Copies of this chain bind each other. A is one copy, B any other.
């Protein structure tokens, strides 16, 4: 793993253990992203076979979570890491929690398709809207993970700010859905499925945002959950003591 910020201990085995935690987190994240891509492709393309596959593969993401969590606990127990090593292990523990939830949300999107009544599909405009939101969320997630891998607090903050646009997309889709339901009762069931998918994507955005917060914590040593935008900027601008 190319990140030179991790390691540098007398014990090479210890360095490798720390790097393995990050490598496996990124593998887990790659799998969760694939699940999300497949879930969105299945939903948009009405591909029930692919949706079923997403549902069945959720266990793989879960298995990763258990493995990585045990690896991290083992490091904590045997190596008793301090300072930036401790932050790294804790950040990985937090991040796997978010990635596991993203896997769950991909499954929820797949299930939204599987629950649709045969032949009763959303309108093209609804599918287009949700596809655009899905791409935005997907890109945010990818950037959040890249910033984590690079332990880059500046980039993490930039990505974190993208969550606002996703929340706006969500609000717009919900508004659109509401008026469709009001106008035509036959649209209710299908609009609720669209709402479910939009909500799942909005939550993926929240988890991508959490991953950015973990990156800032890892880089700057400050827990930044619940800080205002201005406070976040201050933390990121500050040089480490």
Interface residues of A (CB under 8 A from B): 59, 62-63, 65-66, 69-70, 73, 76-77, 80, 82-83, 86, 90, 93-94, 97, 100, 178, 181-182, 185, 188-189, 192, 223, 225-226
B contact residues around A97 at 8 Å (CB): 94, 97
Sample (10) of A-B pairs whose CB atoms are under 8 Å apart: A66-B226, A69-B225, A76-B90, A77-B86, A80-B82, A97-B97, A100-B225, A181-B181, A182-B188, A185-B185
Give every chain B residue within 8 A of A63 (Cβ-Cβ): 226
Which chain B residues border A65 with CB–CB below 8 Å? 225-226
Given A77-B82, A77-B83, A97-B97, is A62 in contact with B182 using a C-beta cutoff of 8 Å? no
Complex interface: chain B residues within 8 A of A189 (CB)? 178, 182
**Taking chain A's interface residues, is the majority helix, strand, or loop, or is none over half, making it mixed?**
helix
Q: How far is the CA of A77 from the CA of B100 in the complex (A)?
A: 27
A102–B182 alpha-carbon span in the complex (Å): 32
Is A223 within 8 A of B66, CB to CB? yes
Contact A188 B178 (CB under 8 A): yes
- Given contacts A77-B83, A80-B80, whether A226 and B181 have CB atoms under 8 Å apart is no
Q: How far is the CB of A73 from chain B (nearest CB, A)?
A: 7
Which residues of chain B are within 8 angstroms of A185 by Cβ–Cβ distance? Answer: 181-182, 185
Residues of B within 8 A of A182 (CB): 185, 188-189
Q: How far is the CA of A91 from the CA of B114 in the complex (A)?
A: 36
| A221 closest partner in B (C-beta) | B73
12 additional A-B residue pairs with CB within 8 Å, beyond A70-B223, A77-B83: A63-B226, A65-B226, A73-B223, A76-B90, A80-B80, A90-B93, A178-B189, A181-B181, A181-B188, A182-B185, A182-B189, A188-B188
- Chain B min CB distance to A22 (Å): 19
Which one of B59, B76, B226 contacts A86 once the chains associate, using CB atoms below 8 Å?
Answer: B76
CA of A97 to CA of B223, assembled, Å? 13
A193 to chain B, nearest CB (A): 11
Residue of B nearest to A227 (CB): B66
Q: How far is the CB of A179 from chain B (nearest CB, A)?
A: 10
